[in-house]
Amino acid sequence: MELSKTAYVILGMLGLGKSTGYDIKALVDVSTRFFWAASYGQIYPELKRLEALGFIAAVQEPEDGRRRKAYRLTDEGRRALRDWLNSSDELHTELRHEGVLKFFFADALELDEQLALVRRIRAHHEAVARQLREIQAVKEGEDADDRFPGLTLAWGIEYQERLAEWCAVTERQLREELARA
Amino acid sequence: MELSKTAYVILGMLGLGKSTGYDIKALVDVSTRFFWAASYGQIYPELKRLEALGFIAAVQEPEDGRRRKAYRLTDEGRRALRDWLNSSDELHTELRHEGVLKFFFADALELDEQLALVRRIRAHHEAVARQLREIQAVKEGEDADDRFPGLTLAWGIEYQERLAEWCAVTERQLREELARA
DNA sequence: TATAGCATGTAATTAGTTACATGATTAA
DNA sequence: TTAATCATGTAACTAATTACATGCTATA
């Protein structure tokens, strides 16, 4: 792998019209962070690296007041982004889900505690779903020229709601068992 | 947080009857790694730490031939495990999904490339689902005294299949657009 | 005039993987 | 006898977060 995944986040965000590290981070925080997080500690050094490699170039800004460093994709950068998007390399996927981990070990708990655990997992997914719906409400106003960010957001909401629904089903089963006992 | 999440993976696995670092790793590789991975580089040092803290204790084995270090949960370790399972602390969840990340940036692609991308994402989830079904088939034979590992596996299969199904729906839409064009 | 937001950056730390070294035992 | 598996462990590396330092600008 030539570039890090974070590098592609940056190339992609520049492709979507963002230009500064700050802007990129702001958009990451309401979009990709739900499936690919990135912090300032990665973004700023990566911007320098990508510039050195010729994938992005600094844009000279009128330097009026506020000091900011705007970048744009170079042709090479745009090519690198498309090559990555089209690449058939194994897709890196990784999940760390403490709720599922606890569920896996839940035989160590009493029935009522198991039920409480699943409730907490559901509450978590419902909270994230709410958060995503808020983001969606904010974006609703803006008319975007891009289609896939919105589709991804819709997917995220459905994903979180399905997980919550699965919890609800499991809760129902545990409640029935608790009633029978 | 007193203990790392990996520490709880170890406590939980000892609770399920595993006793050595090797055994724990073997079970992790066909179970928790899909939602919480752990490597030897974490497991062995963590076993020492947990022993020093008194959460686990080394079991003296007959030391017949093969050198192995078996551990068991202490009462304190069992309590720590249950406390964690029952804790209402924020559940750590984190997803890194290169497929969704590419999808987010897919406006940079042509329609046919977008379709190919979603196909690749679907193939990925189908492959993981197959892998999980194989694990399930192997486990089918063994009669487990624990219930939640099997429930978690069933959840994992459904989760992967739903993601694949979502891809299939999206592919259908893109195919229709491609046909209209 | 003060505070929220814009903006860039880095040092220290934590988490985690990879790759290797070592050696015994079992089954083909 | 040789390959697979059992078994423990660590060093080097990579990825990523956290927390901080710095300073400007707009607005209440």
Q: What is the pLDDT of residues B102-151, one digit of tens each?
A: 999 999 999 999 999 999 999 999 999 999 999 999 998 787 889 999 99
**Domain check: are B80 and B25 in the same one?**
yes
Cβ–Cβ under 8 Å, residues A8 and A81? yes
Which nucleotides in chain D have some atom under 7 angstroms from a protein Cβ?
A: 6-12, 15-20, 23-26
Q: What is the pLDDT of residues B40-57, one digit of tens each?
A: 999 999 999 999 999 999
**Domain check: are A82 and A9 in the same one?**
yes
Residue B118 lies in a domain: yes
Cβ contact B152–A108 (<8 Å): no
B residues 135-154 closer than 8 Å to A (CB): 146-149, 151-152
Average per-residue pLDDT for chain A: 95
Q: What is the pLDDT of residues A96-107, one digit of tens each?
A: 999 999 999 999
Three-state DSSP at B19 gives coil
- Per the model's pLDDT, the better-predicted residue between A114 and B60 turns out to be A114
**Domain check: are B18 and B67 in the same one?**
yes
Side-chain half-sphere CA neighbours of A51 within 13 A? 16
Does residue B1 register a pLDDT over 60?
no
What count of CB pairs under 8 Å joins A to B? 184
Residue B92 lies in a domain: no
Using 50, 70 and 90 to split pLDDT, how confident is the model at A1?
Answer: low
DSSP state letter for A92: P
Residue type, B58: A
**Cα A134 from Cα A34, distance rounded (Å):** 14
Residue A93 lies in a domain: no
> Within 63-102 of chain A, which residues have Cβ less than 7 Å from strand C?
66-70, 96
**Domain check: are B113 and B163 in the same one?**
yes
Does residue A129 register a pLDDT over 80?
yes
Residue type, B31: S
Of A29, A52, A86, the one marking the end of a domain is A86
- Compute the C-alpha angle A131/A132/A133, nearest 5°: 95
Three-state DSSP at B151 gives helix
**Cα A81 from Cα A79, distance rounded (Å):** 5
Residue B110 lies in a domain: yes
Tell whether A64 is within 8 A of chain B (Cβ). no
Of B59, B86, B113, the one marking the end of a domain is B86
Residue A54's pLDDT is 97
Average per-residue pLDDT for chain B: 95
Out of A95, A117, A149, closest to residue B95 by CB: A95
> Within 45-104 of chain B, which residues have Cβ less than 7 Å from strand C?
65-67
Q: What is the pLDDT of residues A133-180, one digit of tens each?
A: 999 999 987 878 899 999 999 999 999 999 999 999 999 999 999 999
Residue B143's pLDDT is 79
pTM: 0.96
Out of B12, B96, B146, closest to residue A94 by CB: B96
**Domain check: are A81 and A137 in the same one?**
no
Radius of gyration of chain A (CA): 21
- CATH number of the CATH domain containing A32: 1.10.10.10
Strands (E), A16-139: 56-59, 70-73, 93-97
Tokens 């406590």 — which residue? B11
DSSP state letter for B64: -
Report phi then psi at A96, rounded to 5: -125, 110
DSSP string, A13-62: HHHTT--SHHHHHHHHHTTGGGTS---HHHHHHHHHHHHHHTSEEEEPP-
Q: What is the pLDDT of residues A13-59, one digit of tens each?
A: 999 999 999 999 999 999 999 999 999 999 999 999 999 999 999 99
Q: Is B28 left (phi over 0), alpha (psi -120 to 50) or beta?
A: alpha
Does residue A62 register a pLDDT over 70?
no
Indicate the number of domains in chain B.
2
Q: Which domain holds residue B124?
A: 98-180
**Cα A37 from Cα A28, distance rounded (Å):** 7
